[in-house]
Amino acid sequence: MEQRARMVRTVTLSLLALLVPMLFAAQPANAAVGLHVSGTKIVEGNGSTFIMRGVSHAHAWYADKLNSAMAGIKSYGSNAVRVVLSGGRWGTNSASDVANVIAQCKANKMICVLEDHDTTGYGEDGAAYTLDQAANYWVGLKSVLAGQEDYVVINIGNEPIGNTNPGSWTSATTGAITKLRNAGLQHLIMVDAPNWGQDWTNTMRSNAATVFAADPQRNTVFSVHMYGVYDTAAEITGYVDASQSAGLPLVIGEFGFNHSDGNPDEDTIMATAVSRGIGYLGWSWSGNGGGVEYLDMVTGFNTASLTSWGDRIFNGANGIKATAKQAAIFGGGTGGDTTPPSTPGTPSAANITSSGATLSWSASTDTGGSGLAGYDVYRRQGTTDTLLAQTATNSTTLTGLTAATQYQVFVRARDGAGNLSGNSALATFTTTTGGGNGNGGCSATVTAQSQWSGGYVAEVKVTNTGTAAVSGWTVTFTLPSGHAVTGSWNATVTSSGQTVTAKNVSYNGSLGPNASTNFGFQASRPGGNTQVPATATCSAS
C-alpha cells in the first residue's frame, strides 16, 4: 500500500459483473510441497486447510521494530503476517535479515508472507522496479528460502502495475513465476493485481487462469487489494464470487477501513472473506505516513495502544481474534488441535483500590496437544463484553479502573491452536472511592504478551495512582535467573545483574491522576524455562 493517493476510481458494477471463463490446465508433473493450492483453497503439507488471517508489517522501513511487532501481531490472534521487504528501492533486506524475519515468524507461530515492495506502481511511478527485477531478488534469497516451504509464501511484488498499461500484468507476472520455478523455488507464490492492486480493469480476474497454468507447480494464489474501489457490497462480493466460480484461489492481500481514494466497506470485506473461506491481510500494524496514518493499527508500534482500526480488525465482528486458526504446522488448523481448554474457575478479586484490583482463578487444563497459552479477562456490561487484560498465568492485576464503580468480570482460557474455553462464572466487585498515592505515586503491572521456549515479550502498564499529575516515573523489576533483556520500547531500560530499571522517555512521562502508559521489553531465557517477571515497583517524580 503506497503512502499517497494513487489512482482514479473508475470502476462500475457492470464491469465487475463481467466474468471471463477461466479453466485449469493439466495437473503439474511435480506436486507442490509445503503450503500449496488445492482448488480454491490454500492447504498445508498435511492437507489441512489454511485460511490467512493477519496484517502487514512495514519491516523494510522499521527493521528495529521486528521482534516487538511480530509478538504484538501474534498477541492479537494473527495466524499470518505479511512482511514488507525491499530489494533495492528502499535499501536491500539481505539474506541474513530475511532469515531472521522467517525465524521470528516461526517463533511466533505465524505463516510468513514475504513481499517485495519495490514494484509498487510500476509504469506510473518512475522509481518502481519491474516484476523481473523482483524475481531476481527472490532468486538471490534462495539460500534462506529453500526448505521453508511449510512456513513461507512468496508475494513476488506489491501492486506491481499502476494504472498505466495494466494489460502488461499477465506477461510480466507469468515471466516472474517462470523465473522463480526455473531457479528451483517451490513455495506457494502470491501475485498482486495491477491498478495499484485493486484490479478495477479486471485484468487479473480475466487472465488469472493463464497465469495459473503458466506455473508448473500450479501453486499460485491471487491477491486483490481492496480500498476505495470496493466501497459497496456488490463490488466486493462480485469480485470474490467471480474468482471462486472460476475455481481459482484468492486472498484479500490488503484492505483498510478508509483511504484517500474512497471509503472501503471493511465490514463486507471481512464478512465475505469469512463466509467464503478466503484469507485476508489488513494494512498495517504501524508506521504509516504520507496522510494515511489513520491506517495504523497500533500507535507508535505500541502493542497496548490499539487504534480504532486496530480494534476493528482484531476484536470486531469477523475479526482476527474470532476467526483465525493457527496453522497445523504449529499445532493448530483443521488437521491439528481442535479441543478447547477446560473452563477456568470463578475469578476472585483482592487488593481492590479506587483504580485497580487483583484477580485470580483456578487454572484451566488443555488436552488437545497445543498447550495452554493463557487467559483473556473480560468485563460484562449488559450485552457487551470488553477485554480488560490478557495474561499467561491464572492471575492478573487490573489497573486504570474507575473509582466507586461495580465491575462484573469473567475469564476465558486459550490454547496454542487458538481454541477458546467457555466463559467462567461472573465475579462482581466494586472499586473504592478516592485516590491514594500507592507506591511512590504510581503502580506497574507486568503482563506476558507472547512466549516461546527461549524467550518472551512482556508489556508493563504504568498508572498514576496519586491525586496529582506526575512528570516522570521509574519502574524496577527483577528477572529470573538466566534471563536477559534483549530489546525494549517506549522506555529507557538498563540492567544491573538481574535487576532491570526502566525510565520514561520524553513523550510518556507526564501522567494525570489515574492516567496510564505502557512500555515493553523482550527477554531471552534458558530453553524450557517458563518463568516471567511477576511483579514490579514504580516511583513517580
Please identify which residue in the block is written with the cell numbers 528477572. Answer: 479
Strand, helix or coil for residue 468: coil
Q: Is the dihedral of CA 269, 84, 414, 385 positive or negative?
A: negative
C-alpha cell at 21: 471463463
**Cα distance between residue 310 and residue 522, in whole Å:** 22
In 170-235, beta strands by DSSP E: 188-192, 220-226
Which residues are catalytic, by number?
A: 159, 254
The 3-class SS string of 447-506 reads: EEEEEECCEEEEEEEEEECCCCCECCEEEEEECCCCCEEEEEECCEEEEECCEEEEECCC
The 3-class SS string of 512-523 reads: CCCCEEEEEEEE
DSSP state of 68: H
**Cα distance between residue 27 and residue 204, in whole Å:** 21
C-alpha cell at 428: 462482581
**Cα distance between residue 127 and residue 29, in whole Å:** 39
C-alpha cell at 96: 541474513
**Cα distance between residue 65 and residue 57, in whole Å:** 9
CB 447 within 8 A of CB 459: yes
**Cα distance between residue 511 and residue 170, in whole Å:** 56
Angle between helix 266-276 and helix 233-245 axes, rounded to 10 deg = 30
Residue-by-residue DSSP string for 433-453: SS---TTTTEEEEEEEEEEET
**Cα distance between residue 194 and residue 125, in whole Å:** 13
- Compute the C-alpha angle 529/532/535, nearest 5°: 150
- Compute the C-alpha angle 308/313/316, nearest 5°: 85
CA distances from 121 to 6, 162, 416 (A): 8, 4, 39
- Among 109, 116, 158, 120, residue whose Cα is nearest residue 141: 116
Is-cis flag, bond preceding 86, omega within 30? no
**Cα distance between residue 122 and residue 100, in whole Å:** 29
Distance of CA 409 to the CA centre of its chain: 27
173's CB contacts (< 8 A; 6+ apart) are: 131, 156, 160, 191, 211
Side chain identity at 399, as an amino acid letter? Answer: T
**Cα distance between residue 159 and residue 165, in whole Å:** 13
- Residue length, the chain? 541
| Beta bridge mates, 412 | 376
